[in-house]
Amino acid sequence: MGIWDSENSGGGGTPSADIDYIIRVPAGAHDYDPTNYPDYSKTALTNGTQRGIEFDDTTEQFIEFDDVIDSDVGTVGTFEIYGMAKTWVTGKDVGFKLYTSPAGADSDIDAVYDEQPSGVKAISTAQDYMDKMTFAIDTTAWAGKKVRFKLSRDTGETDNLSGNYIIFFVIIRIPRA
């Protein structure tokens, strides 16, 4: 899944120092937690449909994905969420949690997850406009390891949006070390 950002690589070969390692996960290219998962949906639009994952506002639900991270990545990355409220309202906030569990060679692949909350993120003030939410993530222990990821909506105090929030796409960007 993860690749070096070829748009900024300077023509192939070894990636330059100013590019990011990128993991792209569109809706549907992930796995579900077997016990508590969000709904997969296709939102009808005027000009077609949009695939998405609908996280409800009452229960912590999870999508899961994993990747083997390049060994030459930095210690702080960016997590991006692209989505929108299923029912549009103004002045509301939503929050997410990214759980990570890195495992290297000769180590436990079932290690405890670390939790990285997004904090409060405002939703779009225009109906049917996509939100782009970003938050910094600690990638210190990821270099050269297989990392398991779980994403959930933070249904706690940071989230005052009633109803479902639909995620279309998530991206992790990690600068080169």
- pLDDT at residue 43 in the model: 80
What average pLDDT score do residues 28-48 get?
84
Read off the pLDDT of residues 121-152 as tens digits, 9 standing for 90 and up: 988 888 888 999 999 999 999 999 999 999 99
Through-space distance between the first and last CA atoms of the chain, rounded to whole angstroms: 19
Segments making up each domain of the chain, as ranges: 3-10+25-166
- CA nearest to 165, candidates 72, 5, 58, 17: 58
Q: Is the pLDDT assigned to residue 31 strictly greater than 50?
A: yes
- Note the residue count of the chain: 177
Q: How many CB atoms lie within 10 A of CB 174?
A: 23
CATH architecture of 3-10+25-166: Sandwich (2.60)
* CA neighbor of 65 nearest in space, from 106, 35, 27: 27
pLDDT of residue 9: 47
List pLDDT tens digits, range 66-125.
Answer: 999 999 999 999 999 999 988 888 888 999 999 999 998 888 888 889 999 998 898 888
